[in-house]
Each structure stands twice: as structure tokens, then as C-alpha cells.
Amino acid sequence: MSFAGKNVLITGGVGFIGSNLARRLVREGANVTLLDSMLDEYGANLFNIKDIKDDVVLNFSDMRDEHSLRYLVRDKDYIFNLAGQVSHQDSMREPFMDMEVNTRAQLTLLETCRYYAPQTIIVFSSTRQIYGHPQYLPVDENHPLAPPDVNGINKLAAEHYHQLYTKVYGVRTVSLRLTNTYGPGQLIKNARQGFIGWFVNRAVTGETIQLFGTGEQLRDFNYVDDVVEAMCLAALHEDAYGDVFNLSGERASLKTVAETLIRLSGKGNLQIVPFPEERKKLTSEIFTAPVRR
């Protein structure tokens, strides 16, 4: 199966993962529409789609606007639902904003599809943060869910909404719980899209990469092309509908990542500092998930 000739909508389509997914789908011959509210502080950047701008339809609107959504979803075979606010720190500073973007907007999309696009298949981008501090390793999909921050709670609510609409209304959805994703198009001007992009920024500008605690915290990492591949597979396989999957890849310590970037760039330096108490509550020392399913 392929996406050739299929009508596809990508929410958050001008962002990091969305633009890489769009490029893949254009190559496969899909009719691609990108929906984005263009919040540049969270990674939306027209440069990300410069090479495919003539091959996609671009719509600047807010996913909470149900009137726009009705028009956008009607004829779509697939919707890759990647729009969201991903900064854990911002979610704690502005919890209502996070709820609007990560919960209300998701529910608006699902309600709109229920009435105007019941034929569509939705792939939702969730997060490993919903697990909270691991009770055992590696963390599988059966691990208890205990999100440690507002962002995790809202993403979990959105994930449950997707499953509910599959079970009750027959809107076919699948949720993918992403770990740390990296690759071209990633936001690096600030840390709102994760620490990898910020580490890259610090290294290439010759600044200090600051690590909390020991720096030995373990994380799983996914290259963006692998995430795109997983999303495409999830959309095309009926057995996945209504289910949730961890997306897991190579694992390394934060210190190893920082040292590698410093070595490759020939710039920057590393500083280990005490873990701030307020950050300890939101961050786990180790997170690894099994590579399976």
C-alpha cells in the first residue's frame, strides 16, 4: 500500500516532524495539505518546506477553528495530527494555553472528523512524558501512566480522546508515543522543542552545554526519518487502529550526546551543575523503551 493519489492533511505541517513527513508523502504522490498556525517559537518555519512549497497546499489557521476544519477535513483519506505545544516548562508557566492547544484543539479535530470526515484515518503524535517517572525498565505500553507535568496530562487526555472516538464513533485513530526526536528542520534557537536542538545551538555557537545532575541520564533517540516511517506504517495498517505504540530508538546518556556534539562541531564546552529542585520533579533520571512490536 502507498499514499499515491491519497488526500492527506498534516496538522503542524510546517514544523519539524510535519515538514519531514510532508516531503515523504509528496515523493509518494499524495495530495498534501498542511495546516499550521505558524507559531515560530515552537518550530513553525516556511524554510522547512521551501523545496516542496509548490507541491503542497498550505493553510494558515488555528486547529480550534471548527469552521476552517470542516473545509479542510472533508475529503481527507489520512490526517497526521502533529500540531501541539511540546515545551514542558511552558506548560507549567501557562497551563491554560497548553490545555487549549493540546486538548481542546485535539477534541475539535476529532468532533469535526466525526461529523464531516468519518472516513479518515488519524495518526496522533503523543509523547513518552505521559509515563512519568519509570517504575520499571524498559517502559512498555502497559506501564502505568502518571504524567509529571501539565503538558503530559493534556497529551494523555488527547490520546484518550482519540481512543474514545475510535471505540464509540468509529473514527479510526492510532497514537504514537514519541521519545526524543532529532534531525533536519528541528528548532534550535531555543529549548522549546527539546534539549537536542538546544545542545546543537550551544555547540555550533561555541557556548556552554549545561547538564543537570551527573549528565548520565539515559534517553532513547529517534531520527526523524524513522519517526516518519513509523507514522506512515501506522496509518496504512488496520491492525494498528485504536491502539497506542511507543516509538523507541538508540539510547545514550545526555553527557554522551553533549560530548559528541562538541567533538563534531569543534566548539562549545560542557558544564555539569546541580539539578534544580523544581526541575527534578518533572524529569526522570532514566527513560528507555523496548524496540519491538
Decide if 256 contacts 27 (C-beta within 8 A).
no
Q: Which one is predicted more confidently, 88 or 101?
A: 101
Distance CA 169, CA 149 (A): 30
Decide if 238 contacts 232 (C-beta within 8 A).
no
* % of the chain at pLDDT higher than 70: 94
* % of the chain at pLDDT higher than 90: 82
- Please give the pLDDT value at position 53: 97
Confidence of residue 147 (pLDDT cuts 50, 70, 90): very high
Mean pLDDT along residues 26-36: 98
- Please give the pLDDT value at position 292: 56
User: Does the structure show a pLDDT above 80 at 224?
Assistant: yes
Q: Which one is predicted more confidently, 192 or 176?
A: 176
Kindly report, residue by residue over 270-286, the tens digit of the pLDDT: 999 988 777 666 666 55
The gap from C-alpha 198 to its chain's centroid, in whole angstroms, comes to: 16
- Please give the pLDDT value at position 1: 75
User: Does the structure show a pLDDT above 90 at 210?
Assistant: yes
Helix axes 254-265, 195-204, angle to 10 degrees: 30
User: Does the structure show a pLDDT above 60 at 15?
Assistant: yes
Decide if 120 contacts 106 (C-beta within 8 A).
no
User: Does the structure show a pLDDT above 80 at 161?
Assistant: yes
- Please give the pLDDT value at position 58: 97
Nearest one of 131, 288, 267, 117 to 203, comparing CA atoms:
267
State the cell numbers at 48.
Answer: 522547512
Q: What is the mean pLDDT of the chain?
A: 93
User: Does the structure show a pLDDT above 70 at 124?
Assistant: yes
Confidence of residue 194 (pLDDT cuts 50, 70, 90): confident
Confidence of residue 167 (pLDDT cuts 50, 70, 90): very high
Domains defined along the chain, listed by start? 7-182+221-249 (3.40.50.720)
Nearest one of 266, 262, 268 to 206, comparing CA atoms:
268
Confidence of residue 7 (pLDDT cuts 50, 70, 90): very high
Mean pLDDT along residues 228-254: 95
Is the peptide bond preceding residue 138 cis, with omega within 30 degrees of 0?
yes
- Please give the pLDDT value at position 41: 72
- Please give the pLDDT value at position 120: 98
